[in-house]
Structure formats: structure tokens, C-alpha cells
Structure 1
Amino acid sequence: MSTASAARPARVVVTGLGVATPAGLDLERFWKSLLTGESGIRELTRFDSSGYPSRLAGQIDGFEAKDHLPGRLLPQTDVSTRFALAAADWALADAGVGPGSGLADYDMGVVTSTAQGGFDFTHREFAKLWGKGPEHVSVYESFAWFYAVNTGQISIRNAMRGPSAALVAEQAGGLDAVGHARRTVRRGTPLVLSGGVDSAFDPWGWAAQLAGGRVSTVPDADRAYLPFDSAASGHVPGEGGAMLILEDAAAARRRGVSRAYGEIAGYAATFDPAPGSGRPPGLRRAAELALADAGLEPSDISVVFADGAGVPELDRAEATALATVFGPRGVPVTVPKALTGRMYAGSGPADLAAALLALRDQVVPATAHTASVPEAYDLDLVLGEPRAADLDAALVLARGRHGFNSAVVLTKCNL
């Protein structure tokens, strides 16, 4: 082996996907919803939301935790952790990882992200504390709220004792988790499960989201969240996310894997400068750095899965970044999360899953509901119907509140 080939970083491929989203719990059901425009946004029913200025949400219905998880886990887990555990199980099954797969416990790590933690669980316990006294608070409150709990619970449930981590970067955190997982694989761990999940649809969690000032108050589910539309007025919160199995390509071949959804070819993260500095936001730089990390030029990117904040000034900033990197209308752009709402740390991984399926099927899902994109945006936003295209590489973008920017480049690959 030459010195150059020995120094070459390992190829990191995605061999399994699991999703838990308002658009579907099953991977193919999720993909069908994105292609047909079936929205998961509806009136929030997790509690009585009638007195709130915003009542629309991307809510997951039809998920019965007892059907997917052992009973011993139910008293100690928040709803978000239940989604994460189920999505992890589905991703592992999709990748064929389990007894007999030839992987030792220390060969497998877990890296996840959540922006909200166990919101519903902890506030139920707070209510007990304030109303009944500390002796009524669950002992599981000591960890069920914590941002690292999904990583821990997935690791314990699946005996994945390799290098693991938890990241918090609001909406950008899910992509950051995958970027960190890629580094972990390249450092020698054969397989890392990674992704993000969030849920905060209890009264306190809902109030906290509304307090941010970016949630749409439009009551029509088809008009509330309009990324890049001239009528954009905010986003609709969602819950859920996705888990991905990242593997060293050579290690995956050794255990008999014959196909991969794609390669994590590039990743980068930046942080916005201080307000009032006069310097531009960091999203464009994140995209450029991710392309450089992948060894690709802007012309190599076939589609962009955009952040799509649905807030006019943020949409305008993202459109400017894309036009600067790719040229005016230089690449097809889509925002499938218009059908699920913004799932915080779960949105980026769900977009990665959608982008990998787009590469597989050579089709770009449309951006639902958006109809009038300002000419000044110079965007080729895919509208109305899915667009068939020759897709070789996808760029996925995410921005977190207060300055986080992340970008991941995916490419088609063969094992």
C-alpha cells in the first residue's frame, strides 16, 4: 500500500435509515408522503391548544410506544426518546445490524442531537414537585430530561459501547451529529449510529417555542409554513427526526453489506458573526467548506435540501448564499420539511434521509405549499410536482438559532 493511499480518510457510507416523522414512521411511507405532498401538519391535539395564538404542528400520530419498546423503558423515557429508540431500531434493522452481524460492542458508537431534551417528561415531573411534593417525582427525572439521554438509551438498548457523544446546536445539531459520527468512523470505529430527534408538544414546551417569535400564526395548514414564499410569516414546529447508520465502507463490505444509500462526502459547520458586525452570515461559508471537504465544485451538486426557515429575512439570506455559491438559479432547491414542520435537531437528519432517497430514485421532491418565490431570490425552487433529474450529489443545509450553520454533502456510491 502506498503512503498516499494509507493516509486517505476512510469512505463513510450510510447503510441504514430509520425515520419517525409527521409524514410517516416507515421509511418508504415517509418518502411517498414527500413525493405526493401529503402533509403531516395539522391542529395540535397533544393537549388543549385552543387558547394559544398558534395551534398548528407537525405532530406524529399513530405511534404507540408499547408496540415498539419493552414496557420497562416506558416509565423512564420522554416521548422524544421513544421516537429516537424506535428510529434507531429501524435503522439498525435496515442495515442488517444485530446478532450475527460480526460487530463487537466496542465497534459501534452512538452520536445524537436534540435541541429540546425530554421536555414533556420533565415538566410532568415538575408539576408533581410543585403540586404534590418531591416524594412524588420519578427517580428517572435524574436523566430523562437530559440532552444526552437519547445517546445513552440507544447505546444501552443495543449494546453499542464504542465512542459516543451528544451535540446541541438547535436546528443545526442533527447535521453536526452526523458530521461528528463521520469523524468517529474515520478515527477507527467501524459503525456509528447517528441522527437527531426532538419533541416538545406539552403546554410548557409549546409556550417556549412560541416565545421565540418565529412560529407562524396563520391558521390555514396549507399557508402557515411557506419557505421562500413572498407570503412567508414563520414556521410550523414539528416533532420527530431520523437515525442513520454510518459505516466505514471497507468494514461494511467485510460484514457482507452489498449496498449503501450514499456516502457522507463532506461536512462543515460555521458560526455567524456578532449582530451589527457588518460581516455576512456563515451559511455560505459552511456550504463552501463542505464542498471543499468533499473535493467537489458547486457544479457537481445536483440538488440542495435547504434550511428554509420560512422567515423572510432568513429566507432572503439563505437565497443570497445559494445564489453566491451556485449562481442565480444554478441548482434545484427543495424544502421537504414544509410537510413535517421544523423538527429542530430532527430536521437535518430527516433531510439527509430524503436526500439519500432522492439520489436512489433520481427525483427531487417538491416544496409543498410555496407558490410565489420573489424574483430577487434567484432560486430554482422545485414547486408543484417532484422533478426527475440526474442526481449525483446533494447538499443539505441547516441553521440553528443564534448563529449555528451546518452543511453536509452526500454522493451516490457503490460498495
Structure 2
Amino acid sequence: MALFSANGLGVLRHRNFSLYLSARLLSALAVNMQSVAIGWQVYAVTGNVYDLGLIGLAQFAPFFLLILPAGHVADRYNRRTVITCCFVLQLLCGLLLFLLSWAGLKSIWPVLSVLALYGSARAFMMPASQAILINMVPPESFSKAVALNSSIFHVAVIVGPTLGGLLYLAGATTVYVTVAALLSISICLMLATRIPPQQVQREPASWHTLLEGLRFVWSRPVVLGAISLDLFAVLFGGATALLPALARDVLHAGPAMLGLLRTAPAIGAVVISVALAFWPITRRVGSWMFAGVAVFGAGTIVLGTTSNAMLALAALFLMGAGDMVSVYIRHILVQVETPDAIRGRVSAVNAVFIGASNELGEFESGVTASWFGLVRALVLGGVATLAVTGIWMWRFPVLAKMDRFPHAGRES
């Protein structure tokens, strides 16, 4: 195990792990650049915050329908191959968005159709990418690998929106061409990656096997509490979909500021994830998790009550930092508690909760903003997040009182 030193960066010495992280970095960079271009295009065409919510709904609907079968695929087939195929489908989406923009976008419905295709790719991507990480590193280095994996992802979330906003000044087609190039490189990197054999599930697909992950989660109060907390907290507190309206109507800025707003949470997240790579959380796990969600909710309230760009960026920074703590703890809990043979299906259940909180949360934010106004929607979302935090601490005391991760003795 000399390749995996106690230093948080030791896992990067493993060639295949580094190739995987590089592919993940470039694909995440592409997706975040693309999201800025799509949000700005849609709002420019319609000027309606409700349509910003439709962006999330278009991705979530196919995701929700396909995610449980996708978990079975991640257990039955090679996870590296599944991820590579998802990158190819994302590349196709980027090329279709380029063609739509080049032809002159007059309606948002073609874009929503492409996003439904993207949501399908994401459904198969999430279980495989969540389950594959633990196959690539020894158990004692897993918490550090989780932190580094999150750090790499959030670096892309930092750079991607800003770069996407700047490239959008040259036109949406410029953004989509760049997205296609980055995804092409990601595909090549994944093809060069070699993953140790996984415990492949040979049992034929059926309702019994598809629901195995759900039964497992339901039987583990710690896992159920962790992923359902994220579902409801982010569902009510999701402000990402409203950032184009916040940038243009409240801060009176353009796409470059939108890129900065999308970047700020990632900066907070990457600062925390880098710190966690060197100083992993080992005590008071439950308290740290609930504190992270509470910080996320408080930051959402601040975001909804300010018209100052710097304060809005600071609030988004804190939201990203708090969310990173929660994500880190939840990911470790889910993966170390799950047998490898069903890890894809359990990751699929986790992905349902994440997808619902993100894409469905974006739709919820768009609807509430159209009903109550942008500012009230943000403030109500933050208050609801804090309420969920308190209710879950009462409902899942075993999680709130958890001191150490299960099997913590295996950590170095």
C-alpha cells in the first residue's frame, strides 16, 4: 500500500485513479459550462422564471424513470464501460445544443428535449460513478479519496460557470463547441482507465432485484436519514435555478456575474473538500452533518435578502461549504455500509434522492418564484431547510448522535 500514503494526496499516485479523476474533472467542467449557457439562453428567450424551473424538470423526469434500472446496470456490467457510454451520450447532447444555437433558438422546447436526453445519461452515470470509487482505492484510503474526488468536481464547478459565462460573450455556439471538445477528451481518458474486477451481479433483472437497493436503505436508519435529509433540505433550499433571474433582475448584471454566482458555492465546497482530504472528519460525525445543512439553509436566507453582489457571493460560498460537509459524510456512510454486489443499486437510490433534491428542487424553486416572487421564494426555501434540519435531528436520533463512521477502525 505504499502507493497510498497517509498524506491526503497519496492516492493520486495511482495511475487509474488519476485518469478517472481527470476524466471526471473535464466532464464536470463541460457540464457546468453548458448549464450556464442553457440557463442564460432560456431566460433570454422567455424572460420567465418558471421556464428556469422547467430546465430542472426536463432532466429529472427521465432520470427518475431510469435510475433504478441504471443501478442494476452498474451492478451487472463493468462500471467503467457504463461511465464511458454516458460520456458519449453527453457529447451527443452538447453537439445537439450547438446545432440548435447555430440555427437560431426561438423556442425552449428543443432545448428541453435535449436536456431529457442528458437526464437519461445522468441516470446511468450517477450509480456507476458513485459505486466505482471504492473499487479503485484500498478501504483505509477511501475517505481521502472521497474528499479528493469531491475537490476535483468542485474545481470544475468553480472554473466551469465562470468560463462558460465568459465564452458566452462570444456566443452560445462557442460554449457548446468547447463542451464537445472536453467531453471527447474525457471519453479517451476513461477508455485508458483500468478498474479492478467488481463483484458483478448475475441475477436477472426483476422487480425484486431492482428494489434491492431501496430495501437495503430502508433497513438502515443511518443511511436513510442521511440521504433523506439531503433530499428535503436541498429540495426546499435549491437556489441554483434562480441565479439567472437574481443576476439580471436583482443584481442588474450579465452572464459574467451569473458565472461568478454559479462558481461561489463551488469555491466554498472545494476549500472544505481540500481540508477534508488532509484532516478527515473522524468524530461527532452526526453533528457535523446537521451543522453543514443548517449553514446551507442560513446562507439561502441571506441570499434572498440582499441586493449586494459581494454579500450574495459570500452567502453562496457558505452554502457550498456547508453542503460539502453533508455530501462528504453521506457518501462515506452509504458506501462503507453497502456490500459491493448491490452498491450500484444502493447508489441508484441515493442518486434518486440527490436528483430529486437538485433537478426537482430547481423546478420547485421556479414554481415558488413565479407564485411568491424571487426574494420570498429564496427566503422561504432557507427557512424550510432549517426546519427540515431540526425535524430530522428529532426523527433520526441515531444519526444526530453518531460519533464515528461505521468501520472507522479501517481508516488510516
Greater relative CO, 1 or 2 (CA 8 Å, sep 6+):
2
Query: What TM-score do you get using the length of structure 1 for normalisation?
Result: 0.33
Structure (1/2) with the larger helix percentage? 2
Structure (1/2) with the larger strand percentage? 1
